[in-house]
Amino acid sequence: MSLDIPYVRTPGPDGRDITGQVDFSQVPRFAGPGTFAGLPRLSDVGESAAGVIGIPFDSGVTYRPGARFGPEGIRSASHLIRPHHVELDSFPFAKHQVADVGNLAVTPFGIEHAIDAMVSGLTAARERAGKLVILGGDHTVAYPSIKTLFDKHGPISVLHFDAHIDTFGTYFGASTHHGTPFRRAAEEGLLDPEGCMHIGIRGSLYDHQDLSDDRALGFQTVHASEFLTTGLHGIADQMRARLGDRPVYVSVDIDVLDPAFAPGTGTPEPGGLSSRELLFLIRSLAPLNVVGADVVEVAPSYDHANVTSLAAAHVAYEFLSIWGL
Amino acid sequence: MSLDIPYVRTPGPDGRDITGQVDFSQVPRFAGPGTFAGLPRLSDVGESAAGVIGIPFDSGVTYRPGARFGPEGIRSASHLIRPHHVELDSFPFAKHQVADVGNLAVTPFGIEHAIDAMVSGLTAARERAGKLVILGGDHTVAYPSIKTLFDKHGPISVLHFDAHIDTFGTYFGASTHHGTPFRRAAEEGLLDPEGCMHIGIRGSLYDHQDLSDDRALGFQTVHASEFLTTGLHGIADQMRARLGDRPVYVSVDIDVLDPAFAPGTGTPEPGGLSSRELLFLIRSLAPLNVVGADVVEVAPSYDHANVTSLAAAHVAYEFLSIWGL
Amino acid sequence: MSLDIPYVRTPGPDGRDITGQVDFSQVPRFAGPGTFAGLPRLSDVGESAAGVIGIPFDSGVTYRPGARFGPEGIRSASHLIRPHHVELDSFPFAKHQVADVGNLAVTPFGIEHAIDAMVSGLTAARERAGKLVILGGDHTVAYPSIKTLFDKHGPISVLHFDAHIDTFGTYFGASTHHGTPFRRAAEEGLLDPEGCMHIGIRGSLYDHQDLSDDRALGFQTVHASEFLTTGLHGIADQMRARLGDRPVYVSVDIDVLDPAFAPGTGTPEPGGLSSRELLFLIRSLAPLNVVGADVVEVAPSYDHANVTSLAAAHVAYEFLSIWGL
Amino acid sequence: MSLDIPYVRTPGPDGRDITGQVDFSQVPRFAGPGTFAGLPRLSDVGESAAGVIGIPFDSGVTYRPGARFGPEGIRSASHLIRPHHVELDSFPFAKHQVADVGNLAVTPFGIEHAIDAMVSGLTAARERAGKLVILGGDHTVAYPSIKTLFDKHGPISVLHFDAHIDTFGTYFGASTHHGTPFRRAAEEGLLDPEGCMHIGIRGSLYDHQDLSDDRALGFQTVHASEFLTTGLHGIADQMRARLGDRPVYVSVDIDVLDPAFAPGTGTPEPGGLSSRELLFLIRSLAPLNVVGADVVEVAPSYDHANVTSLAAAHVAYEFLSIWGL
Amino acid sequence: MSLDIPYVRTPGPDGRDITGQVDFSQVPRFAGPGTFAGLPRLSDVGESAAGVIGIPFDSGVTYRPGARFGPEGIRSASHLIRPHHVELDSFPFAKHQVADVGNLAVTPFGIEHAIDAMVSGLTAARERAGKLVILGGDHTVAYPSIKTLFDKHGPISVLHFDAHIDTFGTYFGASTHHGTPFRRAAEEGLLDPEGCMHIGIRGSLYDHQDLSDDRALGFQTVHASEFLTTGLHGIADQMRARLGDRPVYVSVDIDVLDPAFAPGTGTPEPGGLSSRELLFLIRSLAPLNVVGADVVEVAPSYDHANVTSLAAAHVAYEFLSIWGL
Amino acid sequence: MSLDIPYVRTPGPDGRDITGQVDFSQVPRFAGPGTFAGLPRLSDVGESAAGVIGIPFDSGVTYRPGARFGPEGIRSASHLIRPHHVELDSFPFAKHQVADVGNLAVTPFGIEHAIDAMVSGLTAARERAGKLVILGGDHTVAYPSIKTLFDKHGPISVLHFDAHIDTFGTYFGASTHHGTPFRRAAEEGLLDPEGCMHIGIRGSLYDHQDLSDDRALGFQTVHASEFLTTGLHGIADQMRARLGDRPVYVSVDIDVLDPAFAPGTGTPEPGGLSSRELLFLIRSLAPLNVVGADVVEVAPSYDHANVTSLAAAHVAYEFLSIWGL
């Protein structure tokens, strides 16, 4: 019996083998290497076309902390993922090389230092690993992620699933924290003001200005209550119309889900989406130009039976499946 | 640095300042005074136009106890509430004074003694604190609440969100317990038999007579399964049609939600509402004459990550927001 | 005060009394005998027309184990069930004798030995106890259950609620495990290839062949995402059309529910049904010829506040209520 | 395969077979009938020499409720108990008939009515089932238990393991609740004032009078802190010296254990005993005349992984083992 | 029925009434105002001789965050505390005025700013509220606490209960975090190098230098393993010998307890103290000159049934009881 | 910023660098690679002198399953381990190369096949990775582990920490399961009958024969209750006397700990050891000839806040530290 981990290998388009998931006919799903979906590490394959990367940072949270353990929770919940995405008819791990890039190590003390390290780390990661799904960590990570995408794609359309608008202002002296990534990105000109959109917004705000500021920054908003009026299919249409063929960054704060579906998060708001709705909407992005994505704010110490991490793992899998079409 | 708690203050219509929530730009949300939504205590402001009051009583339960810790759980889950209710465009804490009245202290031994104390306490509280949202406690509290409202408003229309009809009969010698508040209220003539309504009823009953008795007491019933046939908007229409401009008491047993949304309760029934549906229906009461409300049967020892308490806190906030229009 | 447990007794059609549930006017719901819904044990009544039986076996699972404690969890969650099913207008425990058959004791070591014991035990149980709802245990139990029904009814139509198709192949040398009961049943000719159907399928698969094999074995599939397109009523229509008046075995893997509704299970998949949808669909089977049923894969060590067990207990009650029409 | 539950049978001294535990060579421990330790129900064997009986009553609690589910939790945690107690060299289930008597059904509304039912039920149970270990329920049950023992044995020595003295006074108008069983018993002359003893007392009190009253009622007290000074063996000596050959009722409030060992209880106090110490002390009672026992205040909704129930189940087993010598 | 909270009042030495705990004969323990032990708020009494104060700050943690919710958890767990400490024969709430000072609001972003606010807040609090027990929050709070005590008392002897020495160095650029408060205090000359002591140290370190540096800073160390050799009484003797009559600050990291006794903490280490040992040692400080204290690192999201918070609440009560002698 | 994981490197005795733990001055402890203690994988370093290896197998359990997730749980709980073991003055990761070998992938279906794979896998692992600490999985793994050690060392002395003797017999047709590894090893002549020992045994047995058989197989037994009589130091002396300089395999079933310290296990027994006692005893093995070790029966789905996994991780660290002397 070999000690080496057996991976599924498929011939790639360029003649080189693609290393897929651990071979689950030889390795029970609970016995694998602990990577996302049993994929190889980036260091095992050298480079990849797409990857997942953890950013275990939660020093930007304003209420319940713990998202620093999000990457560990999401990876643990990803081991039931299989290679064929049925609805999209995608084999994302056989189309091109996909890898688990590991975690970015950033300081828990000092948000600005952490952001610098994220910018540097994400730049390096995108060079070697291709398109990335970031596993947060708190929502702060969206700002450096967009910043590094801007360098390549120019102004970015942000499609933002969240209970909160996250274009709030300075809080306790910090201009960047988990409530402000999109304000800072917008103010620095990184966003395409014709192509940004929030979906799932709900709960109370501070003032009228929160939403008017947000609109001024370029965001169109679909409130969670619109799922009861406009309906899911209408919202999907609005979403595709807004995004068109722009380069889109999709940022999924797991609290866009109702606390029933995502108890393990830091600022839960009742009245949210179901996981079925969220996965449907992401899946319907398949024809669009998604250049990057994150799924953030999973706080395992508040989770139960991994349900929040499960939802997040499947969100990540949707992105990989779109990229594997 | 002062030890005093900084509250947001707004000029009121009569020239006197209104004391709002703790100023969350100075006090992190996890560092406040522990009151509902960081509001001032009634003793801090003397009197108010609206308030929340806890009744930590659960000696009327017939299955899983623990709702005595409901007020503590709901207050703890209310700290993310902000001053602006977007959908209603309401600033409930700036329109008039709102306060946290604290808890009514009633005996855990002896339901009738407890009810007497609740009647007396609620009468006093309504005099000083205005319109009340009661945080239960078990559903027994609805009876004394209606009783004291009847004294002011005459026959009351009850809009009752629950999995159970709560017009059951004497159980183990007790005529009043968490399954009977509306029977007792109806039998004493406190209810308007043309204006009462249950929403969300489901699960098994003892006999045909349960529902026929219930109808005789003046209740119209919307079963949970009707959300799949009549639909949410149709139910909202029925609801407003039934209630008209009568004085309405809205009683929300948190078990109207499915156990996925409200695990922390005493007599859970699968097949219930989502929190999005419940909040939508309550919000649609805005034009009506809601004279009092409760949210009951939150049992934190069965809750997880506060999801049940969060839903209940937002139910309470809806009522305060309606009153702040 | 007698030590005997008081049961509700109703005159049966043949003059013999039917023993119903524990008399909950004398016995608080938390003080009963611990049987399903407080029903008498089979040994107390000798024989019955319908029954529930536990099969605490989970040696066929491929991921999170623990369904061996499913029967204990489901029984514990069933004590709030009352005798009158409102929507069906059924009094299932007064129409004919219903009993709790207890558990089948089968080895945890050796799947084939366990299956032999299940076949033998279920045969004996169906002779004495009539129609059965099996409380799993893992999904392996469906195969012996269908096998014993085939002996009586000939080819069986399987209506299968699940996230997974469970017609997978040999895994680690085992041809029968919780992912294969329907493949084995189909290959042995036990199924009616014109009348089988999956509802709720979602998540990733290994290959195109999974679904084509499945179709070849006689299964029509309703994906979970079709609840968002075809809609619930359309699916109910398809279901009744497919099943017609064939003898139907309904197999409910609790993971057909979204993890929010059923966290306590072994291979959870986000994007699933709500308990309201599931109960609606089962209830709509009332006019059909349901000859047997199971509810499986409840793993209490991953459950919270019994929500998964509650859903499963109500699924079982739906079947008993259909049989009590 | 038979549907009957196989029990181990041993020839008894009078020629009649003794029915022991379920035969765990045929029935996996998780597949048994759900009785305490897999013992037969009293109704299966008619009568017994010793038994366990549940009293699911917790309406006497003053803080965290939930002990009504104690009997269910303790039975669930008892399934690993085997027939041979090593340290005592006792085969308690083969020496004489032991049975699970089931639960006493008493009202949750009205303490005095409940006590009357307990007195009546325990009298009946002791006639048919012999010596009893009561599974609480809250500590209120000790009073009716002692009352029925007094009728047979005269004044009773109470050996009381608890964090609290439970000779407190009337509270919210109730003279009997979970803090007063021994005061009421003493005031009615049911106790032997030369033979009563508390072990494990700790935490704060109201006043000096609490302890002086307690002494006047006949109690000697071993504080939990004395385990650090007198030591375990010295305390065992004191205990045996105090009790001598009197008829002893041993009442074990599970909160005598530290919250680490017994989180699932209503009024936890840090600084308590370990389960090893408690089991040692109970075991050392073997030579004494223990006429009855209880283990109370197990509240499963606050328990984790059944650890509290496990400790309580083993406490009960110690008593049965002593009686089986 | 009055809405005012009834407090026990005792005549003070200066003729003015002392306001004690809520009167628990009128208010059930679960119905009080939510303050520590039901004590009055400082704002209710103006000033006090001793108080508890929360510092909900956890931005200094290096592993599991969440101690920001420590003050809420500890207060919730303190409601069973009664006015008479038996072993010390102390009535701490009747001897002089004790108050709950509330929480210090400090930024979660920026450790140095937070420390400045703590210094300022603790200075103000000690002026108005007297001797303080700080409820953490993470261990960072010890540094500003010692700093403000130094201003009054000169060099401070630190008696430090912890698994970790907390004299580590700069980490990720932060010189002050939860692993360094005593290094920084020592380096600034705030400590008495002849009077500092760690108790309960265990687990692995980085290098020999950790302990030699620590000794150089003035700390004597009692390892957790010495409880098995020197024994508890010997350690108490060493402790009193080291501290003598110096002004002592007692800092209790709750992780000095074994994870069995304190699961709810950020950097747990097996092999720790029991709560009985810890409370004994603190109690034995009664004759010494304790000028301030803290109990820190309680992280409720990792706690179960409040056991960690309960231990912490009792630690705080020991200090108040010593000060009430 | 590099994507490579920075490890601490130390010059080894042979001139080649030893790769130690992840450099925690660059990588926060929650951001590492997920290996045991942040050690390199075996595949990263090629070979090692000592290693940890997971065997996620639990198909041999007779009660609560779930130990298949033990390796994941233990690794997750190991990230606070630092390089210097203070009491032993050992730097285990700098003395020679230590690696995380990963998991052995074995079938969950069929114990004998799984054992064959374990024998083969452990043989391969010991060749490449040196001395091993096995992270279970259930106790079945001890048998193949001893078998492969016998091949190298001849008859093995087993030092066995457990609540149960694990020399039970065939159960449900399986001769090898988690209750029999030592019987099978003894019967095959793999054990040194003069050098085997159980420590911590408690709870009930089937018959006298259990212990007499056990003695005949060569085991000396220290019951848990002897910790209260012989005492810890006396037991350590007995242990060392029994083992002498024989080759010792130390097998630690985590249920040797009391359920308070190890709730997350499959067959918990109250009355067990504390983690402080267990770590002390293992540490005192330093002078002996420990040739292999395991720590088994950690079932994370029953754990809380990782306390069981934490204890197990520290047990493993003790062995590595002994080997690093």
Burial of E183 (0-12, 13-18, 19+ CB in 10 A): buried
Chains that touch C (3 or more CB pairs under 8 A): A, B, D, F
CB contact under 8 A, C3 and D31: no
pLDDT tops 80 at residue F1: no
Those residues with Cβ within 8 angstroms of residue D149's Cβ, 6 or more apart along the chain or in another chain: D126, D156, D247, D249, D291, D292
Q: What is the mean pLDDT of residues B144-172?
A: 95
Q: What is the mean pLDDT of residues E273-298?
A: 98
The residue whose two tokens read 């210097």 is F84
**Per-residue pLDDT tens over the stretch F90-99:** 999 999 999 9
Gyration radius of chain D's alpha carbons: 19
- Could you tell me if B62 and B169 are in contact, meaning their C-beta atoms sit under 8 angstroms apart? no
**Per-residue pLDDT tens over the stretch E178-232:** 999 999 999 999 999 999 999 999 999 999 998 899 999 999 999 999 999 999 9
CA distance E286 to B6: 37
Q: What is the mean pLDDT of residues F276-299?
A: 97
CA angle C213, C216, C218 (to 5 degrees): 120
Q: Which two tokens stand for residue D74?
A: 């303790």
Note whether C38 contacts A: Cβ–Cβ < 8 A.
no
> What is the Cβ-side half-sphere exposure of residue E275, based on CA atoms within 13 angstroms?
33
Q: What is the mean pLDDT of residues F240-253?
A: 97
Confidence class for position D14, pLDDT limits 50, 70, 90: confident
CB contact under 8 A, B3 and E34: no
The residue whose two tokens read 């360098």 is A151
Note whether A85 contacts C: Cβ–Cβ < 8 A.
yes
* Total-model pTM: 0.98
CA-nearest of D237, D270, D261 to D312 is D261
Q: Which two tokens stand for residue E245?
A: 């009559």
Chains F and A touch (3+ CB pairs under 8 A): yes
Note whether C125 contacts D: Cβ–Cβ < 8 A.
yes
pLDDT tops 80 at residue E2: no
Residue F37 lies in a domain: no
What are the beta bridge partners of residue B220? Answer: B197
B-chain residues near D59 (CB < 8 A): 59, 109
Beta carbons within 10 angstroms of residue D233's beta carbon? 12
Q: How far is C261 from chain A (nearest CA, A)?
A: 8
Alpha helices (H) in E168-231, listed in sequence order = 181-187, 208-216
- Min mean pLDDT across C204-213, C261-270, D91-100, D264-273 is at C204-213
Q: What is the pLDDT at residue F203?
A: 93
CB-CB: which of F206, F267, F270 is closest to D84?
Answer: F206
CA distance B302 to B263: 6
**Per-residue pLDDT tens over the stretch C285-305:** 999 999 999 999 999 999 999
CA distance B48 to B52: 10
CA angle F33, F36, F41 (to 5 degrees): 65
Q: What is the pLDDT at residue B259?
A: 98
Note whether C5 contacts B: Cβ–Cβ < 8 A.
no
Q: Tell me the average pLDDT of chain F.
A: 96
Residue E17 lies in a domain: no
Q: What is the pLDDT at residue E200?
A: 97
Q: What is the pLDDT at residue B1?
A: 60
How many B-C residue pairs are in contact by the CB < 8 A criterion? 96
CA distance B162 to B175: 20
Q: Tell me the average pLDDT of chain B.
A: 96
Residue C2 lies in a domain: no
Domain that holds residue E141: 40-323
pLDDT tops 90 at residue B14: no
Q: How far is E222 from chain A (nearest CA, A)?
A: 31
Q: Which two tokens stand for residue B87?
A: 């959908």
- Could you tell me if C51 and C134 are in contact, meaning their C-beta atoms sit under 8 angstroms apart? no
φ, ψ of residue A186 in degrees (nearest 5): -65, -45
CA distance A108 to A69: 12
- Could you tell me if D29 and D50 are in contact, meaning their C-beta atoms sit under 8 angstroms apart? no
Residue B1 lies in a domain: no
Q: What is the pLDDT at residue A3?
A: 86
Q: Which residue of F has its CA nearest to E64?
A: F30
Q: How far is A211 from chain F (nearest CA, A)?
A: 36
Chain B, residues 87-106, CB within 8 A of chain E, namely: 101-106
**Start-to-end Cα distance in chain F:** 36
Q: Report the CATH number at residue C114.
A: 3.40.800.10
φ, ψ of residue E37 in degrees (nearest 5): 55, 20
pLDDT tops 90 at residue A290: yes
Q: Position B135: which residue type?
A: L
- Please determine, for the modelled complex, whether the ipTM score is greater than 0.95: yes
Chains that touch E (3 or more CB pairs under 8 A): A, B, D, F
The residue whose two tokens read 């001053």 is B83
CA distance E247 to E293: 11
**Per-residue pLDDT tens over the stretch A144-166:** 999 999 999 999 999 999 999 99
CA distance D282 to E16: 51
CA-nearest of A7, A169, A25, A209 to A98 is A7
Q: What is the mean pLDDT of residues D197-208?
A: 94
What are the beta bridge partners of residue E7? Answer: E22
Q: Which residue of E has its CA nearest to A176?
A: E109
Residue C136 lies in a domain: yes
Which of A165, A204, A275 to probe by mutation at the B interface, max B CB count within 10 Å? A204
Q: How far is A103 from chain F (nearest CA, A)?
A: 6
Beta carbons within 10 angstroms of residue F238's beta carbon? 16
Q: What is the mean pLDDT of residues B273-282?
A: 98
Q: What is the mean pLDDT of residues F4-26?
A: 92
What are the beta bridge partners of residue C50? Answer: C98, C131
Residue A2 lies in a domain: no
3-state secondary structure of B273: strand
> What is the Cβ-side half-sphere exposure of residue D190, based on CA atoms within 13 angstroms?
22
How far, CA to CA in Å, does F88 sit from each of F11, F286, F287?
21, 8, 11
Strand B7-11 relative to strand A289-296, pairing? unpaired
CB contact under 8 A, C276 and B63: no
Q: What is the pLDDT at residue F2?
A: 75
Confidence class for position F3, pLDDT limits 50, 70, 90: confident
**Per-residue pLDDT tens over the stretch D101-148:** 999 999 999 999 999 999 999 999 999 999 999 999 999 999 999 999
Report percent pLDDT > 70 for chain E. 100
Report percent pLDDT > 70 for chain C. 100
Note whether B173 contacts D: Cβ–Cβ < 8 A.
yes
Note whether E59 contacts A: Cβ–Cβ < 8 A.
yes
**Overall number of domains in chain B:** 1
Q: Which residue of C has its CA nearest to A305?
A: C302
What secondary structure does DSSP assign to D233-252, as a single string?
HHHHHHHHHHHTTSEEEEEE
Q: What is the pLDDT at residue E154?
A: 97
Report percent pLDDT > 70 for chain D. 100
CA distance A175 to A183: 9
Q: What is the pLDDT at residue D1?
A: 61
3-state secondary structure of E223: strand
Q: Which two tokens stand for residue A173?
A: 């002296």
pLDDT tops 70 at residue C1: no
CB-CB: which of D5, D56, D117 is closest to C1?
Answer: D117
3-state secondary structure of F145: helix
CA distance E159 to E282: 10
Residue A218 lies in a domain: yes
Residue C285 lies in a domain: yes
Q: Which two tokens stand for residue C301?
A: 């060590």
Report percent pLDDT > 90 for chain B. 92
Which of A72, A109, A138, A171 to probe by mutation at the E interface, max E CB count within 10 Å? A109
CA distance D200 to D265: 15
